[in-house]
Structure 1
Amino acid sequence: MTTPVAAVVGQLARDLVLSVDAVPGAGEAGDATGRREQLGGKGANQAVALAQLGVRPRLVAVAGDDVIGDVLLDQARRDGIEVTAVVRRRDTLTGLIVELLESDGTWRYVQHLPEAVLLTEHDVEAAHAVIAGADAVLVQLQQPPAAALAAARIGHDAGRLVVLDGVPEERRDDLLAAADVVRADDREARLLLGDEPTVENARSLLDQGPRLLALGVGDGNLFVWRDGDLRLPLTDEKVVDTTGGGDAFTASLTASLLRGEDPATAARWAVAASGATVGHPSGRPDLRSEDLAKRVRELSGE
């Protein structure tokens, strides 16, 4: 069986995660109880997860021309990620995301992601062959609308599985028309469908293009497709850090669909992957464990 390929269009950044007992107040200093420095950003996180799930990821992102960019791309290659379509922006520092993670799971981000480390429409068009040649195209909508739409349309026109991560603030109709799957967390789902997303108003959105919606609904996730729906609770995994849970969710949902599994099965894989990721600090997934399949069976009632 041929290994499926996925193009991931999104963010690459250096992640610095500092665990602290409490965030110090103004004018105070505090000690970190733990420190992690790693390849991060939503695009890279999803690419790492896909590689762990048996999909060959191609990352379409921007790194600076600094030494940090060199280090992160070396790590991406070791993770099994193809990085030929990563743009090295001249005179630019690679994006940086600093997470302060308190012992109760509360987190705060300080990030430096200026315009120079975001994809442009030209960047995406330059990666046309990489995107069109993949079996699935994952598009993070935190990228500029023109770049996100260009990636979605390339995938759609090539007949690929197009997965949108987030809610479009601009060009919404055009993006939805190009999408097969839309993933939205709790906040994004409310922006998309109102204060109380329901099966009925979610299904009305399917008329605009998507064939599967995966929506956060507070205590779980709601999945809606043309001839079915499924509500799954969050897993009972102890939550240490919610960072990266959504990225693992989106990657696992995509990997399952690429295996030809039905929406209900894909939904269970997505929830299981998210639960496995929030049980440890930082957004870096670890989905190669046999425990993941066990979690899926438990969600299926087996």
Structure 2
Amino acid sequence: MDEQRSPESRQQPETRQPETRQPTVVVVGHAARDLVLRADDLPAAGGSAVVEERIERLGGKGANIAVGVRQLHPSAAVALVAVLGDDAPGESGRREAVAAGIDVAHVARRGDTALLVDVVTGEGERRLLEHVTPESQLTPADIDAAEAALAGADVVVLQLQQPADALVRAARFAFEGGARIVLDGAIEGDERDELLSVADVVRADAAEASILTGVEVATRDDVRRAAEGLLGRGARIVALAVPDEGDLVCWSGGERFLPHVEQRVVDPTGGGDAFVAGIVAGLLLGAEPGRIGEIASEAAGSTVQRLGGHPELSPPAEQE
């Protein structure tokens, strides 16, 4: 970006009053067809297993986040920038997104829809199979077509499993329009530094946090050091996963640890997507950082209690 917000100008977390006009959110990320299969046990090589439950619907991290934001903040206008295939699963996914209240004007249609197969055992163990082709990924041309939406948004979520050139271009439009930018995941190279320089919020799991910061993340102290590094780059809020424990939300002058839910996890798929949706909802509500983390953690905890990554969330108390 030609002009970057200085870390000093972005250090204090911003507590805003709830929006009086309709807030706008744009999610840049992946859309796919989800096939979720639950079996009591996985078969050995050459064997078979009975599928106890099967679900097919719109999925992908970008689509899940967009749907989650809409559920948590029903008054928000939520647009998805993604790719669905020019095929029957793509059309079905588009219709599901519309039914969920998502603006799909900037969902490109080409090739085959990406397929995500989520195989879950009765003990909540997951195996994920992905068929994601290059044509199902966003291009700079797709981003250019969404320039007006990105430049006019209040919050833009960049799901970092997309090609770097498309992400940087989206960040540029969002930054120039004054949006609050939420990064989800990790990216390497020069693009990482450029995206971190304009991020208001950074969300990552432990492996992603290591990629972003160079800190090997295994303990809560490791997570704290990684978060401090990201805050030093200018982020207002950093939310990082502590392996097997929970999530640590940090901001200038404060932090809050949010333990994982105590209930048995049915399927971990989509927990991180719901967490990001919760962050966005908290931002739109003008909540303080600790409360934003709480909303996000509650959304994630709810999602992992159900099969599949598709969220089924209720607005937080502030929105009811």
TM-score when normalising by structure 1: 0.92
Cα distance in 2 between the residues matched to 1:132 and 1:238: 42
Question: What is aligned with 2:159?
Answer: 140
Question: What is aligned with 2:92?
Answer: 71
SS in 1 for 2:305: coil
Work out whether 1:24 is the aligned partner of 2:37: no
Structure 1 residue 77, shift from structure 2 partner:
0.4
Gaps of 5+ in 1: 295-302
Match of 1:195 among 205, 211, 216: 216
Structure 1 residue 210, shift from structure 2 partner:
1.4
Alignment of 1:38-49 (within 5 A): 38-49=57-68
Amino acid at match of 1:87: A
Which structure carries more relative contact order (alpha carbon 8 Å, separation 6+)?
Answer: 2
Question: What is aligned with 2:13?
Answer: none
Amino acid at match of 2:207: R
Alignment of 1:226-265 (within 5 A): 226-265=252-291
Q: How many residues align?
A: 290
Query: Identity over the aligned pairs, expressed in percent?
Result: 44
Conservation of the 8 A alpha-carbon contact between 1:49 and 1:285: yes
Conservation of the 8 A alpha-carbon contact between 1:189 and 1:217: no
Conservation of the 8 A alpha-carbon contact between 2:223 and 2:240: no
Amino acid at match of 1:117: S
Q: Structure 1 stretch 224-233 or stretch 262-271: which is displaced more?
A: 224-233
Amino acid at match of 1:178: V
- Runs ≥4 residues deviating over 6 A: none
Cα distance in 2 between the residues matched to 1:251 and 1:259: 12
Question: What is aligned with 1:103?
Answer: 122
SS in 2 for 1:251: helix
Cα distance in 2 between the residues matched to 1:61 and 1:80: 16
SS in 2 for 1:256: helix
Amino acid at match of 2:204: A
Cα distance in 1 between the residues matched to 2:57 and 2:265: 20
Match of 1:5 among 21, 24, 27: 24
Gaps of 5+ in 2: 1-19
SS in 2 for 1:61: strand
Alignment of 1:181-192 (within 5 A): 181-192=201-212
Conservation of the 8 A alpha-carbon contact between 2:153 and 2:177: no
Work out whether 1:176 is the aligned partner of 2:196: yes
SS in 1 for 2:67: helix
Structure 1 residue 201, shift from structure 2 partner:
4.3
Cα distance in 2 between the residues matched to 1:255 and 1:156: 20
Match of 1:223 among 234, 249, 259: 249
Cα distance in 1 between the residues matched to 2:224 and 2:45: 46
Q: CA RMSD of the aligned region, Å?
A: 1.5
1:105-131 deviation digits (Å, cap 9, x = unpaired): 111111111100000112112110111
TM-score when normalising by structure 2: 0.87
